[in-house]
Amino acid sequence: MTPDRKESAMSEIEMQQYILKRYDDIRNTSVIRAYYGGTDFLNLGYWDEHTRDQKQACYNMMEQLLAWIPEKKGRILDVACGKGATTAYLLNYYAPENVTAIDISGKNMELARINAPDCTFLEMSATDLNFPDNSFDSIISVEAAFHFHTREKFLHEAYRVLKTGGRLVLSDILMSLEGERKVESRTEQNYVKDLEEYENIIRRTGFDKVEVIDATEQCWRRHFWHVVHYVHERFLHKEISWEQMKKHLYHTYRRALYVDYYLLAAASKS
């Protein structure tokens, strides 16, 4: 498989396996661990004018999304929680017995339980939520829906398991159609043209009070320049080799070919 072309379409299971291996490869490098301040976050974050590093940007992202949940009470579901950094952050607002988190990786679940003890962690697909109707007061998903097969299936499931009056908040990345076709971990079935179409998809799954905000500058572009500068600094200080620098920057530069929008979204179930 070349960097610019899929030789054949992956099945949903094959895509999940590819994604898990890709994220494991990223997380298991000392440069990435240091870049995220020793945390288990792995998202682009939200960069305002006061943000100094990636760890703070990830905290900012959580605050941006949680601001859309005015009353932080009842049960919350963290979808695609990874190693549980987002779940652990929720404990600033929720008691652990009210926090449930899911991910498709059993390995992630083991590590997440260390990061957020006493929360409930379940190995589960975002597009097949094994919960009764009306189970949660809120759902959060940080920078993961573009991997779901598909995000529209997830939105239907999220609507089903939310209680009346419940809130869904998420961050997401929209790629060009070319990117959805070429990038190994993406599927053309998930292509969304722009923010207006994204809002329409949320509404047709049943949600109302929908807000979709373009955060491309604050999330994608500012993260891009920060990570580029960070890796080059490590190279200039001879902390990493030429080959390591190229490896760390490859996916960042490749992503720049295809990212159209980074968005934040919120919606309610009436």
Considering only residues 24 and 263, tell me which one the structure prediction assigns the higher pLDDT: 263
**Considering the entire predicted model, what is its pTM?**
0.91
The answer, yes or no, to whether the previous bond of 87 is cis (omega within 30 of 0) is no
Q: Is the pLDDT of residue 99 over 80?
A: yes
CA angle 51, 37, 232 (to 5 degrees): 75
Query: Does a structural domain hold residue 7?
Result: no
Question: Residue 28 is part of a domain; what is its CATH number?
Answer: 3.40.50.150
Residues with Cβ within 8 Å of residue 48, at least 6 apart in sequence:
60, 218
The total number of structural domains in the chain stands at: 1
**Any idea which residue has 């529209």 for tokens?**
152
Confidence of residue 3 (pLDDT cuts 50, 70, 90): very low
Residue 5 lies in a domain: no
Residue 25 has what pLDDT?
A: 59
Domain contains 221: yes
Q: What does the DSSP assignment read for 163-199?
A: EEEEEEEEEEEEE-HHHHHHSTT--GGG---SHHHHH
Band the pLDDT of 187: cuts 50, 70, 90.
confident
Mean pLDDT value of segment 153-158 = 98
Residue 6 lies in a domain: no
Residue 169 lies in a domain: yes
Residue with tokens 């975002």: 126
Is residue 28 in a domain? yes
* pLDDT of the residue at 186: 83
Residue 122 domain-assigned? yes
At residue 6, does pLDDT exceed 60? no
Look at residue 77 and give its three-state secondary structure: strand
Mean pLDDT of the chain: 91
Q: Give the residue numbers spanning the domain of 196.
A: 12-268
Average pLDDT on 206-229 reads: 98
